[in-house]
Structure formats: C-alpha cells, structure tokens
Chains A and B, each alone.
Chain A
Amino acid sequence: MYPREFEYIAPSDLDEALAALDANPGAKVLAGGMSLLPMMKMRLLSPDAVVDIGRIAGLDQISDNGDSISIGALVTHAEVAASDLVMEHGAALATAASWTGDRQVRNRGTCCGSLVHADVAADQPVAALALAATMVAVSSSGTREIAAADFFVDTMMSALEPNEILTEVRIPKAGPGTASAYDKLGRRGGHTDYAVAGVAASVTRSNGSISAATVAVTGVGSKPVLVGEVADALVGSDGSEAAVEAAAAHATCGIEVLEDLYGSVAYKTHLAQVFTARAVNAALSAAG
C-alpha cells in the first residue's frame, strides 16, 4: 500500500516552503505524516506535490512569550505531553497530547498538524478551543492570526488556505485561579485512540464562584465546537457537584450528534454529558 506518485519538495526554510506552495497549487504540507500519509496510502488523497516542512529550522520549539506560550509547527505530541510549560498553562492540551494515538504516533505526529487536519474526533482541537488559542498562519503575502473559535470550519476543514502554513499555535498564559482539563473515552477503550466523546474545559474561580468558563466537545458531532450553554450555566455558580451536573446536561446543545460505529446518538449524548462533568470537575479542582 503506497501513495500515487507525487513530487517531493523538502525546503530548508519557510520562505522556500511558501514559494513551493504558491508554485504548486495542489500541494499538501507534510508535517508528522500521521494523518496525511495514511490518507495518501489509502488514496483518499493524491496530491501532485508534497512540501515536507520537517527540515525547516526554528519550528520545533515550545516558547515562552511572556503573556502566552507558543507551540511550533514541528513540535510533536510527545513533546507537548512532556512540557512543563504546556502543563502549567494548557493542561487540557498536554493531557490531550498524552492520550493521542500511541507512543509511535506521538513521536512523529505534531500538535499543529492535528489542528489543521481537524478530524471530527481529534483531541487537540477541543483543547485549543477551550484554551482560547490563536493560530498563526503564514503565507507569501504575510501573517494572519486566527482565533481557535474561527478555525474549525467543518469535518476535516480548517480555516487555513492551501498556500498557508500554520507556524505556531499560541496559548494565553493561565492567570490566577484558572485551570484546564481534558477527558475522553477513546475508541479502543480508556484513553486510547480518537475520542468517541472528549471534552476540554477551562475555568476561572474567584471569590468562591466560577467567573469564567469555556467548554468544548469533540467526537460527537461533525466538528469540534465550543458549547456556550455549558459555560453560561457554570459562570456565576459555586462549582458544586450539583451545579456542574446541571451545566453538563447542556453538553450537546447546538450540536447535531451523529451516530457512528462507536455509538448511537443517545449513547454519545450521554458520554458528552459525563465527560463534560468530569473535565469541568478536574479543571475546578486544579484551579484550587
């Protein structure tokens, strides 16, 4: 099983890569290859050219920008999972990374690649949504920043243009009383494999009540989404078990839950509620 023939372009700097994308309109960016290569092998996708960004220097760093942290395009799931900086400011993303695929997949697959790939059941997009991440997209005509909330357009479709490279995802630092968490049921049970249902939550506690919350759900609908109704129900509450339970009842508000191989609509709706409560409770206890 191997892909159709294509031209392989391995630029050593970003400008060269952007020029290659401009010159080859049907080209695909290759990062970790953990989603692109399986699709090309199954011939679901047969690009004329592949632009391998794996040799571009400077994209493999997790950096501290003062008020935010950045995860570069070549940072792998394994590196995200092992990063103290990500753990401190985006625990939901660190946890999502540690539960992505298996060790081999985490050693090659990248955080940014996951975001661009935008699988309906992927782990990283909901963490990016809950953490209010910003995507930094670069093309030959310049740089634009896209809020996570505007990035996930539809099933396997992000807001990135074909000639753009996502060079980094930026996460605002967590202020006092703010913490995030992720929980999921994986397709192979436990936390393994794509999410049958997965929920990322970020909460801020001040003076005994919840002053801010964001909750995002993956796996159950056609794309990862923020569920405003859960957040609205949490804000102003005391974060008690009953309050969280009541908020979690809204977990699939505005989502058309889809039946698939892994569960019925009723089952996936139930899971979304259960994991919303678990993720919110975990975030609340981390927020102190």
Chain B
Amino acid sequence: MKVSMSVNGKQVSGDAEPRTLLVHFLRDTLGLTGTHVGCESSYCGACTISLDGKAVLSCTMLAAQADGADITTVEGLASNGELHPVQEGFWERHGLQCGFCTPGMIMSAVTLLEENPEPSEDEIRQGIEGNLCRCTGYHNIVRAIEYAGAKMRGEEPAPAEWENA
C-alpha cells in the first residue's frame, strides 16, 4: 500500500506493507536514520518522534496509521545550520555519552517544552520517564532540557554546574 505524510515539513510518500512499522518506514524507506531503534518493544523511547505535535513511539505504530500525519524527527529540528535549543542544550550541558538514546530523548524534550514551556525539574523527569538512557544517569539530560527551556523563553540559562567549581 501507499502511504503519504509530512515529514520535517516535506510531503513524502512511499510503499509500505500493512505490517511496516513507522520507524522502519522512516529509516529504511525515507533514509532518515536519526530515529533510533532500541528495544523495538515499546519500552526504551529511542524511537520517539513528534506526531501531530505529540511524542509517540514510532516502533509501536504502523506506517499506515501515520498516513496523512505531520511528523517531526530529530533531523527536522535544526534550521539553516543552527541547532534547535534542545540540541544546543544537549551539546552545552553534556546531555549525552554514547548518544543512542539521544534522538528519542531530544524529541521527548522538544514536545515536552512545547506542551509546558517552563517545566519544573520534577516535571522534566516525569516528562522523560518513557526514555531510557544507559549512560548518563539522566542528570545532565535534565540540565540540558532546563538550558533549552531557558533559551526558548528568551532567558539566560543557568551556568553549567562545572563552571566555578
């Protein structure tokens, strides 16, 4: 069957079997390998994308279900060579180590900040509960999201914890 959707602002279409998962359509058919496949069983969040503005698991959706949807993947965040504030936050606050969880973590953070522009630390931690990270211990991820939130609100981010240490 043929499925069409908007991905990162571009109208795309391609062939998919009914059983093709959205994550495979994105990665294999469209060549957008930024979205990662971790557990492939709905638990790790590495495959998180924004679908009509909401964080969803692209490994637990059929490509067919996304026909007509408006999708943003991690590839769609930077514009004109400028990182999205959340990407910048992960860079500035060392929000990643191996980077495997990062695309999903970033998409979770982007949608979280769209829904709640000024989340508390607790709300940030709750907001990324569906994204597992085996490396960082989450601490710097939370700092990265706080940094991005401040940037997006036009505020000066708090200095990094290691400055003046």
Interface of A toward B, CB cutoff 8 Å: 1-8, 10, 30, 33-34, 37-38, 40-42, 50, 52, 54, 78, 101-105, 107-108, 192
Contact = CB atoms under 8 A, between A and B. Distances in A.
B41 A103 contact: no
A54 B66 CA distance: 10
Interface of B: 1, 17-21, 24, 40-42, 45, 48, 54-57, 60-62, 64-65, 67, 108, 112, 126-127, 129-130
A263 B77 CA distance: 44
Given A1-B40, A4-B19, A33-B61, A108 B56 contact: yes
Contacts of A78: 54
A40 B60 CA distance: 10
Contact of A34 (B20, B42, B126): B42
A220 B56 CA distance: 30
B62 A37 contact: yes
A102 B129 contact: yes
A120 B60 CA distance: 21
A5 B54 contact: no
Contacts of B45: 102, 104
A81 to B, nearest CB: 12
Q: Which of A1, A2, A52, A102 has the most CB of B within 10 A?
A: A102
B108 A33 contact: no
B56 A2 contact: no
A37 B64 contact: no
B62 A192 contact: no
Contact of B18 (A7, A41, A108): A7
A104 B41 contact: no
Given A4-B19, A34-B42, A103-B55, 17 more contacts: A2-B19, A2-B21, A6-B19, A10-B64, A33-B62, A37-B62, A52-B64, A54-B65, A78-B54, A101-B130, A102-B45, A104-B48, A104-B55, A104-B108, A108-B56, A108-B60, A192-B129
A52 B112 CA distance: 28
Contacts of B65: 30, 33, 52, 54
A104 B56 contact: yes
A104 B130 CA distance: 7
Nearest to B129: A102
Nearest to B111: A103
A3 B64 CA distance: 14
Nearest to B107: A104
Contacts of A41: 21, 40-41
A103 B108 contact: yes
B64 A102 contact: no
24 contacts: A1-B41, A2-B20, A2-B24, A5-B17, A7-B18, A10-B64, A37-B42, A38-B42, A40-B19, A41-B21, A41-B41, A52-B62, A54-B65, A101-B130, A102-B45, A102-B129, A103-B55, A103-B129, A104-B45, A104-B55, A104-B56, A104-B57, A105-B42, A107-B54
